[in-house]
Amino acid sequence: MLKVNNINVSYGDVQVLWDVSFEVPEGELVALLGANGAGKTTILNTISGLLRPHGGNIYFLQNEITRIPAYRVAEMGIAHVPEGRRLFPEMTVKENLEMGSLVPEAKKKRKETMEWVFSLFPILKDKQNQEAGTLSGGQQQMLAIGRGLMALPKLLMLDEPSLGLAPVLVNQVFEIVKEINQRGITVLLVEQNIMHALNMCTRAYVLENGRITLQGSGAELLNNQHVKEAYLGI
Ligand code: ATP
């Protein structure tokens, strides 16, 4: 579904991604793992069209999307739930969700999609008329994911959905991500919570200093000596 082919990305003179290649096959839940500053967010922003690579190509559903604008990438079916949620705090929960369905196809199905999002996150239904800024951190994360789903994406990209959440909420968010994937939405998950991500993904890539250094199934990487020592503290 998504093919990233040897991309190189820089901020000014500083190169942060080096020949990064990976694939996200349809239906899978793929994890992109790595420490702080490894380049994970840069990869998602490049796929979304917010940054331009100076080398390499990106393909989505056989179409090259490397240099097309972000709004077109969204229209083609990629939803990006950014790190830090980026909600509209003074708008209600419902209005935030509506902002997720501006793409024409999604707008037509807005009502039924919202019902689906409410079935995944009942708390959002209860608080639909409340301002988003008044929600707890966990509820805001749910709203950010819900807003991504409102676009009826083919590929959902999640940037560190567990960041800053209490452990019980981390489990809940990961369960919901699994359920979204089981409902047929392909997921690209960026995470620092390596153990959790490896336990639920179909395949994973490890990014170190802007380069992909390891790849495999979740089980393979859980058994990898370098992953155990560097990321799992085993
Ligand atoms: P984190 O988990 O902290 O978000 P990450 O793996 O997502 O880390 P990136 O945010 O992609 O990493 O950052 C990769 C590198 O690029 C880091 O060295 C970072 O300091 C640098 N960087 C990120 N954004 C910018 C920017 N706007 N201008 C300059 N350098 C940047």
Contact 169, 140 (CB under 8 A): no
Strand 155-159 and strand 78-81: the pairing is parallel
Mean pLDDT, the chain, as a whole number? 94
Kindly report, residue by residue over 164-204, the tens digit of the pLDDT. 888 888 888 999 999 999 999 999 999 988 999 999 999 99
Regarding predicted confidence, which is higher, 31 or 170?
Answer: 31
Percent of the chain with pLDDT over 70: 100
Mutate to test the pocket of ligand 1, among 16, 158, 194 (most ligand atoms within 8 A of CB): 16
Q: What is the mean pLDDT of residues 52-60?
A: 97
How many angstroms separate the Cα of 206 from the Cα of each of 30, 47, 231? 11, 17, 10
Pocket of ligand 1, beta carbon within 6 A: 11, 16, 34, 36-42, 83
- Atom 18, ligand 1: residue with shortest CA distance: 37
Residue carrying the six token digits 């990106």: 58
CA angle 217/208/9 to nearest 5° reads 110
Contact 55, 94 (CB under 8 A): no
ipTM rounded to 2 decimals: 0.94
pLDDT reported for residue 192: 86
pLDDT reported for residue 215: 96
